[in-house]
Amino acid sequence: MIDVNDLRKGVTFELDGTLYKVLDYEHHKPGRGKATIRVKAVNLRTRVTLEKTFNSGDRVQDVRLDYHNVQFLYSDGQLYHFMDLDTYDQPAISGEILGDSAGYLKEGLELKLTFYQGEPLDVDLPTSVDLEVVQADVSVRGDTATGVTKKVTTETGLQVQVPNFVDVGDLIRVDTRTGGYITRV
């Protein structure tokens, strides 16, 4: 059991038999009375977001997670297949569990896969990935006054707002935390 004061962004805990990962944490201390801890967490199996308020001193069940370095192999439309770099096992995760992270998965990408009791639950992406632009809107000459952007589609289907000078065939670096454009590679 861990104290709710120890919950921070990224910590995984169990509540009522369900696994949650903390997305946001807020400690609120009123002038009088007990402090409250507001947590926004995501259910790791169903991807439903929960907002819960705990009183200071409450406890939740901590869980032991295993992390494996894996390489993304391919997607067959519903499942995303990975290869464990140590054991060469090939776990698969459904697209619903991956959610928005699936747009950053490119063949050969190395990342960490989170397991709970042998079940793959989540991926820890690198902070940035390099993706090729396969479709871009045409930029209009003279449309360059200040920070004009356009939407492009990458090889994984991810759509990103980029500066006007980015074209089809360019390799761009995308931040996986925000989904924003970083630079042209």
CATH code where residue 168 lies: 2.40.50.140
Confidence bin at 143 (pLDDT 50/70/90): low
Distance CA 95, CA 135 (A): 23
Q: Who contacts 15 (Cβ-Cβ below 8 Å, separation ≥6)? A: 52, 60, 61
Residue 84, both tokens: 């464990």
> What per-residue confidence (pLDDT) applies to 77?
83
* Single-letter amino acid, residue 153: T
Q: Considering its fold, how many domains does the chain have in total? A: 3
Domain with 169, as residue range(s), is 128-184
For residue range 20-46, what is the model confidence (pLDDT) as tens digits?
989 898 988 888 888 899 999 988 888
The answer, yes or no, to whether residue 170 has pLDDT greater than 80, is yes
User: Residue ranges of the alpha helices (H) in the chain?
Assistant: 95-98
CATH code where residue 58 lies: 2.30.30.30
Confidence bin at 98 (pLDDT 50/70/90): confident
The answer, yes or no, to whether residue 88 has pLDDT greater than 70, is yes
119 and 142 housed in the same domain = no
> What per-residue confidence (pLDDT) applies to 31?
82
Which run of H or E residues covers position 22? strand 18-28
Nearest to 71 by CA among 94, 59, 88, 52: 88
Confidence bin at 137 (pLDDT 50/70/90): confident
Residue 96, both tokens: 């619903």
> What per-residue confidence (pLDDT) applies to 112?
92
> Which of 79, 105, 124 lies at the terminal end of a domain, its last residue?
124
> Which of 62, 88, 108 lies at the terminal end of a domain, its last residue?
62
For residue range 102-117, what is the model confidence (pLDDT) as tens digits?
889 999 999 999 888 8
> What per-residue confidence (pLDDT) applies to 145?
62
Mean pLDDT, rounded, of the chain? 88
Which run of H or E residues covers position 153? strand 149-154
